[in-house]
C-alpha cells in the first residue's frame, strides 16, 4: 500500500520551515570550521575512489585469469564508479538532512 503524496502547499510549508530552522541554527552556531569541510570532502572522495579501485583490481584479476585484455577491468571500473557515485550521493543527502 502506498502513502498518498502530500499536496504541493504542504511540501512548500515544510520546505520553508526547514529553511527557516537552518537559517536560525546558522545564525546561532555560525559557519562550519574549514577543517570539517575539508574532512567531509576527503571522506566523499574516498567513498568514490575505493569502489573504483576495488572494481579495477577485481577486473584485472579476471582479465589475467581469462586472458581477455581489459574487458573485465573496464566493466568493473565503470561499475565501481557507479557504486561510488551512488554512495557519495546518498551520504551527501544524509548530511543535508543532518544540518
Q: What is the pLDDT at residue 99?
A: 57
Which DSSP symbol is given to 5? P
What is the pLDDT confidence band of residue 4, given thresholds at 50, 70 and 90?
low
pLDDT at 72 over 90: yes
Residue 56 domain-assigned?
yes
Question: Which among 51, 99, 98 is positioned nearest to 79, based on CA atoms?
Answer: 51
Q: How many domains is the chain partitioned into structurally?
A: 1
The boundaries of the domain holding residue 87 are: 33-98
Q: What is the mean pLDDT of residues 86-96?
A: 89
pLDDT at 96 over 90: no
Cα 6 from Cα 10, distance rounded (Å): 6
Amino acid at each position: 500500500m502506498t502513502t498518498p503524496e502530500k499536496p504541493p502547499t504542504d511540501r512548500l510549508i515544510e520546505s520553508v520551515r526547514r529553511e527557516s530552522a537552518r537559517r536560525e541554527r546558522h545564525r546561532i552556531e555560525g559557519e562550519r570550521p574549514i577543517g570539517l569541510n575539508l574532512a567531509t570532502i576527503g571522506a566523499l572522495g574516498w567513498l568514490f575512489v575505493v569502489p573504483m579501485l576495488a572494481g579495477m583490481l577485481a577486473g584485472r584479476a579476471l582479465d589475467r585469469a581469462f586472458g581477455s585484455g581489459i574487458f573485465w577491468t573496464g566493466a568493473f571500473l565503470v561499475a565501481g564508479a557507479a557504486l561510488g557515485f551512488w554512495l557519495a550521493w546518498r551520504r551527501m543527502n544524509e548530511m543535508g538532512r543532518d544540518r
